[in-house]
Each structure stands twice: as structure tokens, then as C-alpha cells.
Amino acid sequence: MIKQKCRSCKSKLKEIINLGKQPLGNAFLKKKDFEKEYFYKLNVVFCNNCKLIQLENQPDPKKMFHKNYAFFSSTSNNMKLHFKKFADLLIKKQNLKKDSFVIEIGSNDGIMLSNFKNKKINHLGIEPSANVAKVAIKKKINTTINFYDSKLAIKIKNTHGLADIIYSANVICHIPKVDQLFKNIKYNLKKKGLFVFEDPYFGDVFKKNSFDQFYDEHVFLFTVTSVKNICKKFGLELINVSKQNTHGGSMRYFIAHKGSYDLKKKVSTYLNVEKKLGINNFKKLKQFKKNIDQNKQKFNSLLMSLKNKGKHVVGYAATSKSTTVLNYFNTDPNLIKYISDTTPIKINKFSPGKHIKILDYSFFKKNYPDYAILFAWNHQNEIIKKEKKFKENGGRWILFIPKVKILK
Ligand code: TMP
């Protein structure tokens, strides 16, 4: 019995896949903290009314976005380029000037806003995780360490006026009070303003079996259909969408006050694509669970057979996504020697739930294993290119998205 009602339309929810007891995806921990590790129930559910895919339970946001938040956006060069390209496009298309006003919700270390700051365009970053926000503040990017709630929305309007652009990347899917959020956006947006957000797209998750996009932080995985339905409730309109390759497949949504812009054809095209794909249809969604469970069996037996052959297997990149994979697959931690990662705050800690040691990337470079599981599969091309030497040394990649396989 699912107690939670749809966070947007309050209808009953149905279970798609129960991913069991999970720790927080980003809660890399020290040995002394094993005993008090926090777990919650990760259940992916679907609203048959507004088609919104969401988690049944989400831990308290204060447990996830705090002064020790482990994710720094600017660690990826590809992402830096991605944001610069889009900031330039927004400046051009929306004719942004120095006295325009750009808000970013979840501005992290300022990776996007730095592009506006460099052009002296008024901006404000909203970032609740103090450690990443302080990196942005050091770079002189205007940032408030806060959650975006109605109190802050009022304060922003009173002190800065209305926004030409409200932007957000990989953040809106984190915010459980989605209706309140859209209400605040409506309140903070200029008449001809644009609210643009991009998030991992459930269409890709479904096609690629990338169930690891579900972890505590991602309370929603949006679709064009569900975003359109939410907008409607608040006098907003989904006017355009644009598919992105980031984070294993994302969608960028362009939202405006109703009637203020012409609608682009791409919106209806994607609505039809989603109908055909079956992601608005509960029966078809159940196939998703079957595919994941097949991968679970294959993944664990592959690792077991490699261990029996005396092969060294490690994980590559201690992603939050890998937490969902290892805990749902219930993989024996003895089958993975360590996980290599480049983020200093994670090094020498242990992976959430399965307690696999995280070692610095330099160790991987000096001691190539026989096999590396590509946990950062969303950066596959960049990583495989970068790790030519690993392959030349006889190393092989293990993939599990969309299916478990050893890369030829
Ligand atoms: P995320 O998928 O949860 O955003 O985490 C990405 C993690 O992957 C981050 O800790 C850095 C790590 N990483 C590497 O170690 N090597 C790489 O080449 C890339 C792209 C990421």
C-alpha cells in the first residue's frame, strides 16, 4: 500500500520498481560511521493521472544538501563547455544585457553563472550546500546559501526585481514540493521571462535501463508529458524542449507565462514519442523492472566468474548512481577491489551501503586492473578516450547500461 500521494496532482501512485533499502547516493563514509549509516526505502512510483514518475519516500533534503555535499559541478570539462554554450545562446536569443537578471536554482560552484558574471550580467545563484556555494562566492559569483522557498522568492523579488531567466540544471528533479516551486517560478518571472531547466530524462532511463538515475536526490524523473501537465496548473506553458546528451540523456524544458510565446512543434513531437514509447502506460512501465532484474543476475554472475578466474575487478568513478546499482544488485563487495575516483572528498572513504574502498585515481593509473566497471557510464566516450593506456595494458571495460557486457 503506497501512502504517498502524487506530489503534484495528489492522485494515487502505483509501484514501478522497488529498489529496496538504500543509503544516500552521495554519503561516502568513514569506517567509524558504518554503524550509524542512514538507510531509506527507494521505491519508484508512477502517477496514472498526471504521469509524473517519482519516489515514494525521499529523505529529508537537509540530510542530502549540507555543508559536506560531495558533488562539485566544475570537475567535468565537458559540463563546463555545455553550460558556456547554453549561456551564450541565452544571452543572444533573449538579448540579455547588464541590467537583465538571471537566477539559477542550485547553482553549485558557479559553473553556469560564471558565464553571466564574466559578461557583467546581473545574476543570483541559489545554493543550499554551503561548501559548494562558498566556492562560487570565492569566484565572486553572487550566491545565496539557501533553499528556494516562498520566503526567498519574495525576498528576491523585493531586492532584485523579476527575472528574465530562471535556470536550473539537474536540480528541479531534487525538489519534492514541485507545485510550490512552480508557483514561486511564476511569481519571480518577468512577463516575457523564461524558466529553463534540464534534468535526466525518463525517456532515456526507460530505453537504456538506466535505473541508477533513481537515488535519494532524484525525487522526480520528468517527461515532456508530466512537465506540460504541471505547467498547466500554474498558468505556465511548456513552449519548447531540447534533447541533451548530458547525464546519460537529459531534456531541457523551456517554460513561459501562458500565451507569451509561440509553442514550438518539438513539444507535440515529443508528446507523441512518449506515447509510442509507452512511458505513460503503467503496463509497459513494468517491463522496465524485468530488464533491470535480468541485468542484476548477469552483473553478479559476471563478477563472480571473473573472481573465480583470479581477475582483478575495480569500479571506475564513485558516482551516486553506483550506490543504487551496487545496493539493488546486492553485489558482494569482495568482488570489487576498490572504486577509483577523482573527487578529493571521497578518497579513502567507503561506498555507501556496500563499503567498497574509494581510492584516488592516481592509484588506478599506477596499478591497472584486469577489468574496470564503468560506473560513470554517462561519460563513456570521454573516459574511454582518456584511458587508452588502460586498454593497451590489456584492461577491459565492464558496462551494465543498457545491458551487462564486456566492451570489445
Ligand atoms: P556523479 O555521476 O554522481 O555526478 O559523480 C561523478 C563522479 O565520478 C565524481 O566523483 C567524479 C568521478 N569521475 C571520475 O572519477 N573520473 C571521470 O573521468 C569522471 C567523468 C568522473
Strand 250-257, strand 189-200: pairing: antiparallel
Q: Of all atoms in ligand 1, which is nearest to the CA of residue 379?
A: 20
pLDDT in the model for residue 72: 67
What H or E segment, with its residue span, contains residue 238? Answer: strand 236-244
End-to-end CA distance of the chain: 45
Buried-state track 171-190, b at ≥16 Cβ within 10 A, e below 16: bbbbbebbeebbbbbbebbb
CB-based burial label for 139 (10 Å; 0-12, 13-18, 19+): middle
* Spatial separation of the C-alpha atoms in residues 392 and 169, rounded to whole Å: 36
pLDDT in the model for residue 74: 66
Count CB-CB contacts under 10 A for residue 21: 12
pLDDT in the model for residue 60: 78
Beta-ladder partners of 197? 168, 253
| Pocket of ligand 1 contains residue 380 by CB under 6 Å | no
Helix runs in 189-281, H state only: 202-208, 224-233, 265-277
Mutate to test the pocket of ligand 1, among 379, 382, 387 (most ligand atoms within 8 A of CB): 379
Are 106 and 181 spatial neighbours (Cβ–Cβ below 8 Å)? no
pLDDT in the model for residue 273: 98
Are 263 and 295 spatial neighbours (Cβ–Cβ below 8 Å)? no
pLDDT in the model for residue 64: 66
The backbone torsions φ and ψ at residue 255, rounded to the nearest 5 degrees and listed phi first, read -125, 140
pLDDT in the model for residue 52: 98
Q: How far is CA 63 from the centre of its chain?
A: 17
Beta-ladder partners of 240? 254
Tell me the CA–centroid distance for residue 200 and ligand 1, in Å.
16
pLDDT in the model for residue 63: 74
Q: Of all atoms in ligand 1, which is nearest to the CA of residue 26?
A: 3
Q: Of all atoms in ligand 1, which is nearest to the CA of residue 76?
A: 20
Q: Of all atoms in ligand 1, which is nearest to the CA of residue 25?
A: 3
Are 42 and 19 spatial neighbours (Cβ–Cβ below 8 Å)? yes
pLDDT in the model for residue 229: 98
Render each residue's pLDDT in the chain as its tens digit; 408 residues. 899 999 999 999 999 999 999 999 999 999 999 999 999 999 999 999 999 999 999 887 777 666 666 566 666 788 899 999 999 999 999 999 999 999 999 999 999 999 999 999 999 999 999 999 999 999 999 999 999 999 999 999 999 999 999 999 999 999 999 999 999 999 999 999 999 999 999 999 999 999 999 999 899 999 999 999 999 999 999 999 999 999 899 999 999 999 999 999 999 999 999 999 999 999 999 999 999 999 999 999 999 999 999 999 999 999 999 999 999 999 999 999 999 999 999 999 999 999 999 999 999 999 999 999 999 999 899 899 999 999 999 999 999 999 999 998
Hunting for cell 546559501 — which residue is that? 145
Q: What grid cell was written down for 133?
A: 556555494
| Pocket of ligand 1 contains residue 342 by CB under 6 Å | yes
Q: Of all atoms in ligand 1, which is nearest to the CA of residue 75?
A: 11
Residue nearest to atom 21 of ligand 1 (CA): 317
Tell me the CA–centroid distance for residue 188 and ligand 1, in Å.
34
Give the closest residue to 331 by CA, choosing from 307, 354, 311.
Answer: 354
**Strands laid side by side in the 220-221 sheet:** 13-23, 39-47, 53-55, 220-221
Are 220 and 201 spatial neighbours (Cβ–Cβ below 8 Å)? no
Tell me the CA–centroid distance for residue 319 and ligand 1, in Å.
6
Are 13 and 6 spatial neighbours (Cβ–Cβ below 8 Å)? yes
pLDDT in the model for residue 169: 97
